[in-house]
Amino acid sequence: MNPLIVTGTDTGVGKTVVSAMLTLALDAFYWKPIQAGIADGTDRGRVAAMTGLSPARLPTGRFVLREALSPHRAAEIDGVEINLENLALPEVPEDRRLIIEGAGGVLVPINRALLQADLFAHWGGAAVLVARTTLGTINHTLLSLEALKARNIPVLGIVFVGEAMPDSERPIVEFARVKRLGRLPILPELHVTALRAAFAAHFQARDFEASDGG
């Protein structure tokens, strides 16, 4: 089983919505291993609400931390330790994909010695990078891609979120030499029908079938 890792250029960039959409479109399983911040609920709960999928399709995360902080600090406050040994992948059927949603951006620390990207490299899956289309996205996205490539993490491509901004999207794709997987517009409603329709209108399932970023 090769997981598909959904990461982003920043927190709040749209990873959870993209993850929910991909879980539906690819008939996959969804897993958020590290949740930092529970005051407004969890991303697992949001994906359940958006997709209507049963708990069996949404394996429970390894760490649900109370504070909305970088995982390394939130874990310290809760008195727990995050490391590679306690972040083994959950078991899913061999013929199904596992969509993993990362916490925050690519270089967020998970403890005092490891970054999120180190965890991605440990899992061995391909990454889908979620990026805004707003001002500043070129710099943020290219830096995130550099960090992934420096750790030999295969990048399947970029999912842009927001209004169409060709003069921002095109330079990213050309400079980084990565695939533009599609753009998810801001949806007025987040539910099964809307997510399926958005995928059908803006994405191609075959672009997500590769698992090696190539």
Please give the domain boundaries of the chain with CATH numbers for all domains: 4-208 (3.40.50.300)
What is the per-residue pLDDT for 210? 60
Average pLDDT over residues 126-147: 96
Q: Which one of 15, 32, 149, 179 is the catalytic residue? A: 32
Cβ atoms within 10 Å of 148's Cβ, excluding its own? 25
- Are 36 and 43 in contact by the 8 Å Cβ rule? The answer is no
Confidence band for 117, pLDDT divided at 50, 70 and 90? very high
Average pLDDT over residues 130-141: 95
pLDDT tens for each residue of 145-178: 999 999 999 999 999 999 999 999 999 999 999 9
- Average pLDDT value for the chain: 94
Q: Look at phi and psi of residue 202 and say left if phi exceeds 0, alpha if psi is from -120 to 50, else beta.
A: alpha
What is the per-residue pLDDT for 11? 87
What is the per-residue pLDDT for 1? 60
- Are 11 and 104 in contact by the 8 Å Cβ rule? The answer is yes
**Dihedral angle computed from the Cα positions of residues 18, 21, 22 and 27, in that order, rounded to the nearest 10 degrees:** 160
Q: What is the pTM of this model?
A: 0.94
- Are 154 and 124 in contact by the 8 Å Cβ rule? The answer is no
What is the per-residue pLDDT for 209? 81
212 pLDDT more than 60: no
Catalytic site includes residue 32: yes
214 pLDDT more than 80: no
pLDDT tens for each residue of 30-78: 999 999 999 999 999 999 999 999 999 999 999 999 999 999 999 999 9
What is the per-residue pLDDT for 37? 95
